Structure 1
Amino acid sequence: MKISGVDIRPGNNIEYEGGLWRAVKIQHTQPGKGGAYMQVELKNLIDGRKNNVRFRSAESVERIRLDTKDFQYLYAEGDMLVFMDQESYEQINLPQELLGDAADFLQDGMEVTLEMYEERPISVQLPDTIEATVVEADAVVKGQTASASYKPAILDNGVRVMVPPHIVSGTRIVVDVYAREYVKRAD
């Protein structure tokens, strides 16, 4: 589906110069002289490159739709990750770099969503938050309790996050997967 360059919105997936791109940020600019244009920060869906492109209203781009499918994470095999289709029970192997830093939060049996373009996996979306156990938390420094200070902690998956002073080793917490931040104490 063709759309005008000034109609691009954050989150739109487009085909540009033979590649698949996702609009990350947009800025509509209307200079005093000349026509309006849209400054768009694009991220390549295949290799993660970023590009800033200026689209005028006369230009059009092809908006693409990605198919989403639910998969379950099974296990890691070297630098490949094995996922199972929830409907057909077929297994596929995907490289770990497709997930980026979010791969640290994968848990056995976790349900994920694969975005696919023409039956080819492009990205893996994990849940926004997961529960994890704090295995190591630094002691609170005396005198810092009055301010809203955070202390470093290591989770059972090896990820380091900053947690409030009242969190101790053995506590289950909820962590934002993509921001790598403490959200709340788990129920």
Structure 2
Amino acid sequence: MAVEIAADIRKGNIIEYTDGQLYVVLKAESFRPGKGTPTTTIDMRRISDGIKISNTYKTSDKVERAYVEEVDHSYLYMEGENYVFMNSANYEQVVVPAAMLGDSAHYLQENMTVILQMFNGEAVSLTLPARITAEIVETEPVVKGQTASGSYKPAKLDNGARIMVPAHIGVGTRVIVNTEDGSYMERAKD
């Protein structure tokens, strides 16, 4: 285990909480007021049973970060409520429960390379690529003369995810999506 200050904890990190259990960090936000003590709020999910908790630390408080091995895997297919990945180095298959992926499951694409965090041979967390390319399959029609101003409209992607896109984007357009927050980034150049 490595000890880090709370301000250095990021989404996807695995930490050992005071109860001796492993937790995956879902969100970590630091707050630095003008006066007073800066704090970091960490939202996390217990790996063993999926219970979520939120805790606030002083930014200088020490947090035990678990040592996890990060291994590249390729996404193969969905099997019931589980997702199957293959280790790129030794071709071993790993089954990951859908609960571990949560909303990130929408962004999985066949043969996509992801990073699985392994602890004692078990997959405990998954990191997707920062961006994916997807096609718009459903949205409101394009209004003639509409430019990339601040107005956005809802759209559905070919993977089933729903995002907000600029008003000039139409059905059939390939877009790049940020997998961390599900936001539109830009039109795909391909």
**Higher Cα Rg: structure 1 or 2?**
1
The TM-score normalised by the length of structure 2 is 0.79
| Aligned pairs (5 A) from 1:1-187 | 1=1, 3=3, 7-8=5-6, 9-11=8-10, 13-16=14-17, 17-21=19-23, 22=25, 24-26=28-30, 40-46=41-47, 47=50, 49-54=52-57, 62-140=64-142, 147-187=149-189
Say if 1:48 and 1:122 are closer, same or farther in 2 by CA, change over 3 A: farther
Report the alpha carbon displacement of residue 154 of structure 1 after superposing the two structures with TM.
1.2
Looking at structure 2, the residues matched to 68 and 134 of structure 1 have their Cα atoms a distance apart, in angstroms, of 32
Confirm or deny: 8 A CA contact 2:147 2:168 kept in the other structure: no
Report the alpha carbon displacement of residue 76 of structure 1 after superposing the two structures with TM.
0.5
Looking at structure 2, the residues matched to 139 and 56 of structure 1 have their Cα atoms a distance apart, in angstroms, of 48
Looking at structure 2, the residues matched to 54 and 103 of structure 1 have their Cα atoms a distance apart, in angstroms, of 30
Question: Can you give the 5+ residue segments of structure 2 that lack an aligned partner in the other structure?
Answer: none
Aligned residue pair count:
180
Percentage identity across aligned positions?
A: 41
Report the alpha carbon displacement of residue 94 of structure 1 after superposing the two structures with TM.
1.2
Looking at structure 2, the residues matched to 148 and 28 of structure 1 have their Cα atoms a distance apart, in angstroms, of 29
Alignment partner of 1:124: what SS?
strand
Looking at structure 2, the residues matched to 87 and 115 of structure 1 have their Cα atoms a distance apart, in angstroms, of 15
User: Alignment RMSD, CA only?
Assistant: 3.0
Counterpart code for 1:116? M
Report the alpha carbon displacement of residue 120 of structure 1 after superposing the two structures with TM.
1.3
Confirm or deny: 8 A CA contact 1:129 1:177 kept in the other structure: yes
Report the alpha carbon displacement of residue 14 of structure 1 after superposing the two structures with TM.
3.0
Looking at structure 2, the residues matched to 105 and 56 of structure 1 have their Cα atoms a distance apart, in angstroms, of 32
Say if 1:99 and 1:56 are closer, same or farther in 2 by CA, change over 3 A: closer
Question: Can you give the 5+ residue segments of structure 1 that lack an aligned partner in the other structure?
Answer: none
